[in-house]
Amino acid sequence: MSFLAKSLRKSAKVGSFKLRLGSTRMLSGTSNSNNHADETKKNQLTTDKPSTTHFGYKEILLNQKERLVGDVFSSVASNYDLMNDVMSLGIHRLWKDHFIKKLDPGMRPGGEPLEFIDAAGGTGDIAFGLLRHAKQHHFDTKSRMTVVDINNDMLNEGRKRYLDTEFVTESPNRIQFLQQNGEVLDKIPDNSKDFYTVSFGIRNFTNIQSGLNAAYRVLKPGGIFACLEFSKVDNEYLNFIYNKYSFSLLPLMGELVANDRASYQYLVESIRKFPSQDEFSGMIRKAGFYVPGKGYENLTFGVAAIHIGIKI
């Protein structure tokens, strides 16, 4: 049984709620999603937002961030795998595999097809991986995937890669690509998704809490939120080496392999600006999710971490 399945089984009773594995549907209880959705929309409209934010280590005007992040990903889109390999020394592939196995998604026998959303899904690594896993492990060829990303250049890479997958011939229209800001997801109805995933994307959002609130809104009661993201290294010595590598070598490698020092510099700084594992778990709870156990699993001493939340 996967780690997630065990966590869920342990937490299968959440107050008066019961979760059914696989279908992730609620069997009893009522959801607070409508109130929450209203609150989210209200927050988005009325919160006193600071007029500045960070872009890596730079202080910028709030309304500049989306464009600057857009420029970074437009610039790396065609070399996206190379960027990931440089950033993680190739380990991102192992982390992504582990993430997918841990979620162990797929329609269970006799169940209904699942609705997945992969936010900031870019080139589709996680989206294709989830559907492949569902097929290989649960004979699921029906569940559907929506990949959303704010950046059309990244989505276009995903669309191109999709054409090379087995899904195109097997079952067309199982995957749709939508240009959407993950902080709002205005084209995604409330309570419509069983799984929300976001991998190496949420740290680039201007307002991470709005992204989490939007995730909560679009998930069905019992739906699973899962995030794979760079995080904080939990070992002092390793952290020292990691910092040296990140700040000295990475921007240089960005310049040498992709002629793009600035984007790599931003990516390193954005990792350092991202909240710690415990802070991020707190934000997931704040969005309304039930967080099982401590809420995260560190990968490679915390270089990356997986966070889980369940919509109650």
**Does 110 appear as a known binding residue?**
no
Question: Helices 80-88 and 261-273 meet at what angle, rounded to 10?
Answer: 50
Pairing of strands 219-230, 193-199: parallel
The footprint of ligand SAM on residues 48-107 (CB under 6 A) is 69, 73
Q: What is the rounded CA–CA span in Å between residue 128 and residue 115?
A: 14
Question: Is residue 140 within a helix (H) or strand (E), and if so which, with residue range?
Answer: none
Q: What is the rounded CA–CA span in Å between residue 291 and residue 234?
A: 21
**Cβ 142 to ligand SAM shortest distance, Å:** 23
Question: Is residue 101 within a helix (H) or strand (E), and if so which, with residue range?
Answer: helix 92-103
120 binds ligand SAM (CB under 6 A): yes
Q: How remote is the C-alpha of 128 from its chain's centroid? A: 14
Of how many residues is the chain composed? 312
**Cβ 81 to ligand SAM shortest distance, Å:** 9
Distances (CA, A) of 77 to 60, 80, 199: 23, 5, 16
The footprint of ligand SAM on residues 262-281 (CB under 6 A) is none
User: Which residues of 166-218 form beta strands (DSSP E)?
Assistant: 175-179, 193-199
**Does 123 appear as a known binding residue?**
yes
Q: Which stretch binds ligand SAM (CB under 6 A): 39-47, 193-201, 243-251, 283-291?
A: 193-201
Among 56, 105, 121, 222, indicate the residue that binds ligand SAM (CB under 6 A). Answer: 121
**Does 211 appear as a known binding residue?**
no
* Between 104 and 149, CB nearer to ligand SAM: 149
**Cβ 50 to ligand SAM shortest distance, Å:** 17
The footprint of ligand SAM on residues 126-155 (CB under 6 A) is 126, 149-151, 154
Pairing of strands 193-199, 175-179: unpaired
**Does 48 appear as a known binding residue?**
no
**Cβ 135 to ligand SAM shortest distance, Å:** 20
**Does 149 appear as a known binding residue?**
yes
CB 232 within 8 A of CB 210: no
* Between 50 and 110, CB nearer to ligand SAM: 50
182 binds ligand SAM (CB under 6 A): yes
**Cβ 125 to ligand SAM shortest distance, Å:** 4
Question: Is residue 20 within a helix (H) or strand (E), and if so which, with residue range?
Answer: none
User: What number of chain residues touch ligand SAM (CB under 6 A)?
Assistant: 20
254 binds ligand SAM (CB under 6 A): no
Q: What residue ranges bind ligand SAM (CB under 6 A)?
A: 69, 73, 120-123, 125-126, 149-151, 154, 181-183, 199-201, 204-205
